[in-house]
């Protein structure tokens, strides 16, 4: 439908030379202008770009104006701004005459003047905003597709030293209980492609926004959940009764002769359920991580809580081994402190468990079991490289001092460190890097990992068995090449799952069985000159009955070597479970 606007124009009377004598009047013409779809638009200079005559009569002419679209758009925008200005003025009037006058003056003074350049800039900004929105949508879409298409992570996280979550099993009960959706969420976030790399990048990016003021040597960062720690303090003095170490030959019939072990044949019974609960979710850091210092002196520490009740249980479990193995088998307890015991800043010590108090608590309950005081031995060397700064384990040098103390207690020969071949590995970034949320300062200041090969290394006969002590490997080695720097601690024995058997050139006839967690691995190379035969068993994976195993291999000495996180937590239950599981006698 065409909108019409009638415009009446009055034209001045012209003197007509031919009719000047007959007529000298003014004439009027009515001109009708058609502007399709442009009702209400005020005409501005330069808007009309063409004119078409639609019809023409004697005193009436109808024309169609062709308008510039850009000018029309500009005119519309101007009218919209004028409408908004009128609306603001009306709102101001409602406030009151007194304040209204002031506000109107302010609006009048502050109102920006809009030019063509301003309009172009505003249009450009709108276009850029639109482009940004589309770009972000595309980025998120590409990421979503990549997360679906690219192969997801699985298996074990070497940086965090734990198994990644598996996709949950689908069942009605799991679905209704909400466990299935929770499991999917955990699996999805746990197995994101290039997970470790992205977490490392995130840590470095976060560091860019950080600001630290003060002495870097005193800098302390607490990362992770500290947990509920109720510090326990031991009162009084603990005296450990002296335990006589048997070094002779036991009477005939009391133990096996220590000859080569014949592994059982036939069907192996399925291990029974453990009798005591153990939290085996690979979480050892419920108390969080403390980052101390900076630069080459930066150190990550596992904050220690401890538990007197679990420590008491640990001692009672170990006592049962001594009672069942008898007077001719020496049983030892080695409670290995973590780096937190020696390097936690003094001002934070009252907030956490005291390692020495927890060790003394265990000692107070030992009965017939020889205590190996590695705390005192290590404390003398805290200015040496006895603990890694980026890993939760000790350095082999720390294990050397602990093994030296054990050799004194067990009355066996011990080789000096100078007789060992020293091997140095640089750029070692251990598990605490992942535990700390991929702290970039730890990555930028890696450890040096130094281990020692005994002089009789080439003469050692090393074999590995499956966890049920059935499948025996071909002759192997005590040391393994780590394919990733973060796995350098696995240089010793390769893996925790297998049972290791080491035959040495030592001829004292002593057979040592070590029940250990991962801290015990580093002890083994330093004891190859002290015992004729060594068996290394990990508490977490061993399936035979522990008492029967010790008797079958002819153990003369049994060492429990665990870090403080094991012997003062529910993981101490492993020791009791191994004692009672799968008995055949």
The better pLDDT of the pair 508, 487 is held by: 508
All residues at 6 or more sequence positions from 494 whose CB lies less than 8 Å from its CB, including other chains: 464, 480
**DSSP assignment of 416-455:** -GGGSEEEEEEEE--THHHHTT--HHHHHS-EEEEEEE-T
> What is the pLDDT at residue 494?
85
Question: How far apart, in whole angstroms, are the C-alpha atoms of residue 97 and residue 391?
Answer: 75
pTM of the prediction? 0.65
Element (H, E) at 65: strand 60-67
> What is the pLDDT at residue 161?
58
Percent of the chain as helix, strand, coil, to the nearest 5? 40, 20, 45
Q: Kindly tell me if the per-residue pLDDT of 185 is higher than 80.
A: no
385 half-sphere exposure, CB direction, 13 A CA radius? 14
Q: Check: CB of residue 62 under 8 Å from CB of residue 32.
A: yes
Q: What backbone torsions phi and psi does residue 340 show, to the nearest 5 degrees? A: -60, -30
Question: How far apart, in whole angstroms, are the C-alpha atoms of residue 346 and residue 503?
Answer: 45
Residue 366's pLDDT band, with cuts at 50, 70 and 90, is: very high
Averaged confidence pLDDT in the chain:
78
Q: What backbone torsions phi and psi does residue 135 show, to the nearest 5 degrees? A: -65, -45
Question: How far apart, in whole angstroms, are the C-alpha atoms of residue 576 and residue 495?
Answer: 23
Q: Check: CB of residue 405 under 8 Å from CB of residue 374.
A: yes
> What is the pLDDT at residue 165?
72
Per-residue pLDDT averaged across 553-570, rounded?
A: 96
- Provide Rg for the chain, Cα atoms: 43
The proportion of the chain whose per-residue pLDDT surpasses 90, expressed as a percent, equals 44
In sequence order, the β-bridge partners of residue 65 are 51
Q: Kindly tell me if the per-residue pLDDT of 18 is higher than 60.
A: no
Please report, to the nearest 10 degrees, the dihedral formed by the alpha carbons of residues 347, 350, 355, 358 taken in order.
170
Per-residue pLDDT averaged across 103-108, rounded?
A: 48
Q: How far is CA 394 from the centre of its chain?
A: 21
Element (H, E) at 222: strand 220-223
Burial of 524 (C-beta count, 10 Å sphere; 0-12/13-18/19+): buried
Q: Kindly tell me if the per-residue pLDDT of 575 is higher than 80.
A: yes
Q: Kindly tell me if the per-residue pLDDT of 576 is higher than 90.
A: yes
Cβ atoms within 10 A of the Cβ of 436, count? 25
Q: Check: CB of residue 245 under 8 Å from CB of residue 408.
A: no
Q: Tell me which of 64-73, 152-161, 332-341, 534-543 is least confident.
A: 152-161
Q: Which residues of 404-427 are buried (b: 16+ CB within 10 A; e: fewer)?
A: bbbbebbebebbeeeebeeeeeee
Cβ atoms within 10 A of the Cβ of 148, count? 8
| Beta pairing class for 60-67 and 48-56 | antiparallel
538 half-sphere exposure, CB direction, 13 A CA radius? 20
The better pLDDT of the pair 467, 61 is held by: 467
Residue 518's pLDDT band, with cuts at 50, 70 and 90, is: very high
Question: How far apart, in whole angstroms, are the C-alpha atoms of residue 174 and residue 198?
Answer: 31
> What is the pLDDT at residue 205?
57
Question: How far apart, in whole angstroms, are the C-alpha atoms of residue 44 and residue 75?
Answer: 8
Question: How far apart, in whole angstroms, are the C-alpha atoms of residue 466 and residue 541?
Answer: 10
Q: Kindly tell me if the per-residue pLDDT of 485 is higher than 60.
A: yes
> What is the pLDDT at residue 86?
79
> What is the pLDDT at residue 25?
40
């Amino acid at each position: 439908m065409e909108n019409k606007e009638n415009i009446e124009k009055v034209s001045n009377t012209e003197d007509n030379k031919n009719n000047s004598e007959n007529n000298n009047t003014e004439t009027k013409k009515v001109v009708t202008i058609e502007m399709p779809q442009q009702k209400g638009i005020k005409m501005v200079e330069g808007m009309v770009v063409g004119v078409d005559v639609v019809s023409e009569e004697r005193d009436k002419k109808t024309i169609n104006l062709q308008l510039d679209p850009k000018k029309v758009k500009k005119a519309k925008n101007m009218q919209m701004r004028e409408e908004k200005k009128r609306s603001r003025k009306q709102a101001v009037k409602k406030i009151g005459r007194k304040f209204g006058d002031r506000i109107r003056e302010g609006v009048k003074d502050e109102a920006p003047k809009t030019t063509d350049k301003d309009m172009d800039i505003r249009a450009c900004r709108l276009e850029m905003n639109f482009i940004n929105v589309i770009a972000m949508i595309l980025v998120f879409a590409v990421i979503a597709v990549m997360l679906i298409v690219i192969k997801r992570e699985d298996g074990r996280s070497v940086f965090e030293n734990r198994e990644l979550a598996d996709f949950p099993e689908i069942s009605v009960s799991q679905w209704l209980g909400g466990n299935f959706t929770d499991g999917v969420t955990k699996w999805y976030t746990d197995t994101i492609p290039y997970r470790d790399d992205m977490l490392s990048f995130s840590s470095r990016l976060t560091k860019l926004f950080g600001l630290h003021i003060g002495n870097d040597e005193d800098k302390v960062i607490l990362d992770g959940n500290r947990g509920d720690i109720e510090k326990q303090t031991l009162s009084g003095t603990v005296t450990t009764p002296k335990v006589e170490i048997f070094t002779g030959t036991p009477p005939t019939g009391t133990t096996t002769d220590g000859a080569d072990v014949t592994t059982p044949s036939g069907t192996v019974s399925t291990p029974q359920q453990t009798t005591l609960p153990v939290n085996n979710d690979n979480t050892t850091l419920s108390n969080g991580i403390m980052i101390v210092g900076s630069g080459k002196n930066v150190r990550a520490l596992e904050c220690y809580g401890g538990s007197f009740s679990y420590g008491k249980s640990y001692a009672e479990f170990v006592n049962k081994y001594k009672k069942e193995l008898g007077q001719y088998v020496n049983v030892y307890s080695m409670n290995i402190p973590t780096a937190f015991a020696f390097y936690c800043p003094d001002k934070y010590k009252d907030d956490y468990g005291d390692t020495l108090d927890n060790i003394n608590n265990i000692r107070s309950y030992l009965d017939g079991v020889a205590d190996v005081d590695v705390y005192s031995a290590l404390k003398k060397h805290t200015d040496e490289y006895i603990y890694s700064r980026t890993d939760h384990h000790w350095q082999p040098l720390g294990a050397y001092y602990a093994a030296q103390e054990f050799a004194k207690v067990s009355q066996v020969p011990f080789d000096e460190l100078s007789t060992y071949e020293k091997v140095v590995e640089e750029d070692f970034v251990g598990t605490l890097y992942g535990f700390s949320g991929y702290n970039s300062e730890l990555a930028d200041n890696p450890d040096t990992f130094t281990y020692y090969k005994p002089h009789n290394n080439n003469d050692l006969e090393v074999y590995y068995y499956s966890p049920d002590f059935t499948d025996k490997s071909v002759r192997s080695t005590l040391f393994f090449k780590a394919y990733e720097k973060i796995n350098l601690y696995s240089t010793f024995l390769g893996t925790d799952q297998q049972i290791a058997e080491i035959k040495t050139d030592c001829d004292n006839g002593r057979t040592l069985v070590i029940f250990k967690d991962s801290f015990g691995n580093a002890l083994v190379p330093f004891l190859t000159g002290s015992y004729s035969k060594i068996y290394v068993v990990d508490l977490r994976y061993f399936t035979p009955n522990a008492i029967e195993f010790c008797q079958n291999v002819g153990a003369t000495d049994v060492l429990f070597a665990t870090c403080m996180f094991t012997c003062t937590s529910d993981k101490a239950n492993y020791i009791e479970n191994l004692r009672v599981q799968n008995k055949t006698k």
